[in-house]
Amino acid sequence: MTLDLLQMVGFGLVATFLALLIKEQQPAFAFLLTLFVGAMLFFFLMDYIEAALTMLDDLANHANIEPVYLETMLKIIGIAYVAEFGAQLARDADEGTIAAKIELAGKVLIFVMAIPIFRTLLETVLSLLPGA
Amino acid sequence: MAYDVDAIFQIAGIGIIVAMIHTVLKQMGKEDWAHWVTLIGFVVVLYMVATIVDDLFQRIRSVFLYIGG
């Protein structure tokens, strides 16, 4: 695990250096390099994220939580990661407006995904109220 | 490990070589050729990047969307 971390940091530093080198002549290539390395590091991390999520899934199964809730939560986490990834890349290329829109899209989608859970919560609270 | 450090050097190398060719062709007065070279190099790199981004998105989809579902 430590070796993997060293490897990822090494990737990052090498890519940073190379991107600095190209940025002078061809900024577009530097951006593509950044995108490539970002995707690559994220790709490595997916193994660890998968392990953590599997553990979470086991816990939820033991606790008899309805799978719909866990699924929604995982989707929300996924949306957050992906939106952050895209927004930071866009901001890196000095496209603040697009970055803001990507973040907005992430926020709206998260809100929409959370609506069924929110409705269930409201119904539970209402059923607890006397005379409802 | 599906991807290694070679790919980074590949992309950076393509970028540097394209920049070099661009400069040389410009010095020779062939501006339109220089632009074509840049465009072709860009498309090649874009293809590599698109491939890995596609892989990443497939992986994200399989990890986040189908666990427990």
| Listed residue (A45, A68, A101, A115) closest to B56, CA to CA | A45
CA–CA dist A51, A55 (Å, integer):
6
For B12-53, how does the pLDDT look when each residue is reduced to its tens digit (9 = 90+)? Answer: 899 999 999 999 999 998 888 898 999 999 999 999 999 999
Burial class (CB in 10 A: 0-12, 13-18, 19+), A33: buried
Looking up tokens 């991807």, which residue turns up? B3
Residues of chain B in contact with residue A49, where contact means CB-CB under 8 angstroms, are 63
The pTM for the full model equals 0.84
Q: Tokens 């929604």 — which residue?
A: A72
Which residue did the predictor score with more confidence, A86 or B3?
A86
CA distance B44 to chain A (A): 11
What is the per-residue pLDDT for B69?
42
Residue B61: CB atoms within 10 A of its CB come to: 12
Q: How much is the pLDDT for A65?
A: 85
State the amino acid at position B24 in one-letter form. V
Report the pLDDT value the prediction gives residue B68, as an integer from 0 to 100: 43
Residue A9's pLDDT is what? 92
Interface A-B, measured as beta-carbon pairs within 8 A, has a size of: 109
pLDDT in tens, chain A (132 residues): 788 889 889 889 999 999 999 988 888 899 999 999 999 999 989 989 999 988 988 998 899 888 888 888 888 999 999 999 999 999 999 999 999 999 999 999 999 999 988 998 999 999 998 875
Q: How far is A57 from chain B (nearest CA, A)?
A: 7
CA A89-A93-A95 angle, to 5 degrees, is: 95
Q: How far does the CA of residue B26 sit from the closest CA of chain A (Å)? A: 13
Residue in A28, A46, A61 nearest the CB of B59: A46
DSSP character string of B11-53? HHHHHHHHHHHHHHHHHTT-HHHHHHHHHHHHHHHHHHHHHHH
CB contact under 8 A, B69 and A42: no
A-chain residues near B9 (CB < 8 A): 18
Q: What is the interface pTM, i.e. ipTM, of the complex?
A: 0.83
C-alpha distance across the termini of chain A, in Å: 55
